[in-house]
Amino acid sequence: MGEERVIRRIRVRTIGFGVLLSLGAFAFGWKRGVSLTICAAVVIFSFLVFERLTGRFVTPREKWKIRAVLPLLLVTAAAVGLLAFVLHWKAFDPVAGAVGLSAVVLAIGAEIFHRTEEG
């Protein structure tokens, strides 16, 4: 039960950091904003897909079916395709992209400072 709460907090913080970083980047120009937003979206989608996939693989199932995992894999493939497109975009800002990729890292780092009532 505790792990589910931690993952939920990280998920909410990741989306929050992604939104805040994107808004901040748009203040410095639309190209930076688009670069950061796309990179943040790719890493957030990847985190969410990884969370779902590990949950499906860890929990015992009677019969594992590819149809249960296929939508998640397609979302990941689409995100990687979008990232590949953005990296070839001539107006791509690599600094903004790197900051966008750090959205999940920031959310996980913030979890270190979260105080629980349990201890």
The pLDDT of 47-69, averaged and rounded, is 68
From CA 43, how far away is CA 52, in angstroms rounded? 14
Task: For residue 85, tell me if it sits in a domain.
Answer: yes
What is the predicted pLDDT for the residue at 33? 93
* SS3 state of residue 22: helix
Domain-embedded: residue 66: yes
CA 15 to chain centre: 8
pTM: 0.74
Domain ranges, residue 59: 2-112
State the pLDDT confidence band at 30, using cuts at 50, 70 and 90. very high
pLDDT at position 60 = 59
Domain presence at residue 23: yes
Q: Residue 31 domain-assigned?
A: yes
Question: Rounded to an integer, what distance in angstroms lies between the CA atom of residue 52 and that of residue 86?
Answer: 26
In a domain, 34, yes or no: yes
Residue 118 falls inside a structural domain:
no
